[in-house]
Amino acid sequence: MNLTKIFSVVFFLIAVALAYFLVDSVKSKIDQDQLIADQEALVIDKLKMIRDAEIAFQAVHGKYTGNWDSLISFVDTGRVYLIERKETVITLEYGADSVNIEIDTLGYVPVKDSLFVIKNNVKALIDGVVEKVNVSEGQTVEKKDVLAELRSSQSRRSTKLRAGNAGTIERVYVKDGEEVTKEDAVVKLIWPRIEDLSRLPYIPGTDKKFELFAGQIEKGGLTVSVFEAKDTNPINPDRLEGGIKEPLKVGSRIDVSTSGNWE
């Protein structure tokens, strides 16, 4: 092999190596970006839970709480009252209107069973007939359990409708032999937003807690309650102290807000 061919082979191998490292570095960057996006989605979901719990706590107690034990206990055993508001407009003799407001308490629902469950109507997804309903109301199911068996009106083939999550059947909408369209709900499946309430304060995937603050500020001559929950251990380097983005948080210490800074 002459010198020219040797150089050609060497340069070819170098080019292949550089191309490999370039592709690998791009892939690593994409993988890292996806990891950050997935983790931040989990953090945002947890912050939404904290916000819902704080809003319900404030509705019952008249203020927010900065104590994790109080918030967890409220979610576990607290109640949210159902209120009906009625307004009656009465025209007075001199032409002005008077508004009479009546507020009735209709009952209550447990916080854990209302705000902290996900409810999903599982749809038929095909036009056809329900051959068999495999579940009943109150039954617990695992992910991929068969909820119902349907027969398509087009192909005449049977299709098994499976649970996308483990949960409990709250309601069954159809009966054996009933015709359905693909948009019809077959069952309502519910499952908890968080399996272990004691993990509510913790940043997903870590043993570090969200920073939780509650207090009062003066706004427009009024004293109002505020709260803030913040990710103290961001996975995104851009959100670290001095970074170009704020850490993910919901609420505000200095303003009347229940918004998240991702919205």
Q: Domain span at residue 181?
A: 119-192
Query: Residue 244's pLDDT is what?
Result: 83
Q: From first to last of its 263 residues, what are the pLDDT tens digits of the chain?
A: 566 666 576 666 676 667 666 665 556 667 678 889 999 999 999 999 999 999 999 989 999 999 999 999 999 998 877 656 666 666 666 666 666 666 565 667 888 888 899 999 999 999 999 999 999 999 999 999 999 999 998 887 889 999 999 999 999 999 999 999 999 999 999 999 998 999 999 999 999 999 999 999 998 888 999 999 999 999 998 898 777 889 999 999 999 999 999 98
Copy the structure tokens of residue 191.
């499952």
Residue 23 lies in a domain: no
Q: What is the predicted pLDDT for the residue at 82?
A: 66
On whether residue 153 sits in a domain, the answer given is yes
Q: Does the residue 253 lie in any domain?
A: no
Q: Is residue 157 part of a domain?
A: yes
Predicted pLDDT of residue 245: 87
Residues sharing a CB contact under 8 Å with residue 138, sequence separation 6 or more, in sequence order: 168, 169
Written as six digits, the tokens of 214 are 């509650």
Q: Does residue 141 sit within a domain?
A: yes
- pTM for this prediction: 0.74
Residue 142 lies in a domain: yes
Q: In whole angstroms, what is the distance from residue 165 CA to residue 13 CA?
A: 50
Cα-Cα-Cα-Cα dihedral of 169, 171, 173, 177, to 10°?
50
Indicate the SS3 state at residue 163. coil
Of 131, 173, 171, 178, the C-alpha closest to 151 is 131
> What local confidence, expressed as pLDDT, does residue 222 receive?
87
Domains: count for the chain: 1
| 150 is a domain residue | yes
**What is the pLDDT, as a whole number, of residue 243?**
78
Contact 35, 28 (CB under 8 A): no
Which CATH number goes with the domain that contains 173? 2.40.50.100
Answer yes or no: is 74 within a domain: no
- What does each C-alpha distance from 176 to 33, 132, 212 come to in angstroms? 47, 5, 51
User: CB-hemisphere CA count at 13 Å for 134?
Assistant: 15
Instruction: Yes or no: say if 200 and 173 are a contact pair by the CB < 8 Å rule.
Output: no
